[in-house]
Amino acid sequence: MIRFLNLKDQICEGSNDFAFYDTVSNTICSFGEQAEQVFSSIEGFKYEFGDEQKGTTRPLSRFLGLIPDDYFNEAV
């Protein structure tokens, strides 16, 4: 099972960083040639997810669906 990791303000204050955790392998998921694990934007995540992941058992939509709708909204 894949879990969304909320890293907001944990790496850098004011940053909306996030990652994904795989409970089956007990590891943080890595993407792209540089095996990126932490992302600060959906666009950056989509870029690193890349074409090589498309068509796998874990499609992009599976990961994007785990990001809360209001995750990038500013706190009031």
Give pLDDT tens digits for 6-32: 999 887 777 899 999 999 999 999 998
Q: Give residue 11's pLDDT.
A: 77
- The answer to whether residue 53 scores a pLDDT higher than 70 is no
Q: Give residue 45's pLDDT.
A: 94
Determine the Cα–Cα distance for residues 76 and 65; give it in Å rounded to an integer.
Answer: 24
Q: Give residue 64's pLDDT.
A: 95
Q: Give residue 12's pLDDT.
A: 74
Q: Give residue 76's pLDDT.
A: 46
